[in-house]
């Protein structure tokens, strides 16, 4: 698996996990990921919006227009049933991969 595939898949998984809590607009998704990661992961617009469009194309998220907390028109994304299934599968895979990487790093 190429590093870009791993990173893309990880971003997709984090977006799905973030939307599993509640519908959010793009800026709020990036902010939530940053906060949940202890300010370590900064998701840039150039990565986030292509991920959202990709997830929407795959039917994993759906979007509708609404008004943000700043009284601005914003597209709010929410998880679909297929997105919830994908999140469950991705979470299981991530657990296996992260355990494997930890084992390698502990032995290095």
Kindly list the distances between the CA atom of residue 35 and the CA atoms of 11, 29, 38, 107, in Å, as whole numbers in the listed order: 15, 10, 5, 31
Q: What is the full per-residue pLDDT of the chain (108 aa) written as tens digits?
A: 444 444 667 999 999 999 999 999 999 999 999 999 999 889 998 999 999 999 999 999 999 999 998 999 999 999 999 999 999 999 999 999 899 999 999 986
Domains of the chain: 3-107 (1.10.10.10)
> Whole-structure pTM over 0.85, yes or no?
yes
Contact (Cβ atoms closer than 8 angstroms) between residue 48 and residue 30: yes
């Amino acid at each position: 698996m190429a590093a870009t595939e791993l990173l893309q898949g990880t971003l997709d998984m984090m977006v799905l996990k973030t939307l599993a809590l509640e519908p959010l607009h793009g800026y709020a998704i990036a902010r939530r990921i940053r906060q949940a990661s202890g300010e370590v992961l900064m998701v840039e617009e150039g990565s986030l919006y292509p991920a959202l469009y990709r997830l929407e194309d795959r039917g994993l998220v759906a979007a509708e227009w609404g008004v943000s907390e700043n009284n601005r028109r914003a597209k709010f994304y929410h998880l679909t049933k297929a997105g919830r299934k994908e999140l469950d599968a991705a979470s299981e895979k991530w657990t296996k991969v992260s355990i494997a990487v930890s084992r390698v790093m502990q032995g290095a």
